[in-house]
Amino acid sequence: MKKLSAPIVGLALAVWSLPAAAAKISRADLKAVLDDNPDLIFNVIQDHPKEFMAVFQKAYQQEMMRQREQQAEEEKKKTAEAIKHPLQPAINSWSLIEGNPKAKYTLVEYSDFQCPYCSRAEQTVDALRAKYGNDMRLIYKNNPLPMHPNAMPAAEWFYAAALQSRKKAWKLHDAFFKHQTELGEDFYKKTAKTLGLDVAKLEKDAQSSKVKDRIAQDMAEAKKFGLMGTPGFLINGVPVAGAYPLDYFVELIGKIDAARAGNKS
């Protein structure tokens, strides 16, 4: 193979993307030279930094756009499949439900009382319920994460309170998220007493196998549905992993409605 000079290599780099027939040297020859003399590439870059950065940035932006489009398309397909085959959470006499039992939309929330993202997500949940009114019911399930030491005790007190009064259990739920930084046994007792709950019974029930088993079932269900972190949601069986904004849920509900309308036609 004949040796090529540095100027020829520089010129070849400029026409690298052209068909081999349009170049004065073959791609194979150019590759062989660059394999033997990789410093030539760096020399060209150093001599033309502005042009190199412009090409690099354009290529990077194009790749990022391609990846975003690919991700959006994958999410679209995933959502369509989830709408077509919704998940089926356990809903029974034990379930903590707020709202119209025959609501058009069922929002199941898998949450952690000590998780800051869950606290912020409660604002989205409240906004959703305000927007859809009687068309939406909420089911709260516990998914306390191991890195939050107060999450499991709070979950236990919440379910224990439900054994006395579901209405007061929901008030306890609201207090836990509103005063998240105060979570602890003293706060649980003080809040329960303020709500008129039997504190001694609460302490006992919080440690009962009935309560602990129920929490374990919630956690197992969240894991089965791939909702490993918190918060996690199901909206009519379609999973949402994370604290997404209101608009995301509204858009998803629109897709659910569209699919439902299509099935009826």
Q: What confidence tens digit (pLDDT) does each residue in 64-79 have? A: 887 777 766 677 777 8
Mean pLDDT of 201-228: 96
Q: Name residue, tokens 């949450």.
A: 111
Mean pLDDT of the chain: 87
Structure tokens at 5: 């000079």
pLDDT tens figures, 169-188: 999 999 999 999 999 999 99
Query: Is 88 in contact with 224 (CB distance < 8 Å)?
Result: no
Q: Do 230 and 143 meet the contact criterion of CB atoms below 8 Å apart?
A: yes
Per the CB < 8 A criterion, the answer to whether 181 and 234 are in contact is no
226 backbone φψ class: left, alpha, beta (φ>0; ψ -120 to 50):
left
Helix, coil or strand: residue 176 = helix
CATH number of 96-264: 3.40.30.10
**Whether the Cβ atoms of residue 143 and residue 118 lie closer than 8 Å to each other:** no
| End-to-end CA, the chain | 70
CB 157, CB 206: distance < 8 Å: yes
Residues of the chain with CATH 3.40.30.10: 96-264
Statement: residue 21 has pLDDT above 50:
no
d(Cα 189, Cα 202) in Å, to the nearest integer? 9
Q: How many angstroms separate the CA atoms of 158 and 166, rounded?
A: 9
44, pLDDT greater than 50: yes
Please indicate, yes or no, whether the overall pTM of this predicted structure exceeds 0.85: no
Dist. CA 220–CA 180, nearest whole Å: 24
Q: Confidence class of residue 265 from pLDDT cuts 50, 70 and 90?
A: low
CB 140 within 8 A of CB 231: no
- What is the C-alpha separation between 61 and 55, in angstroms, rounded? 10
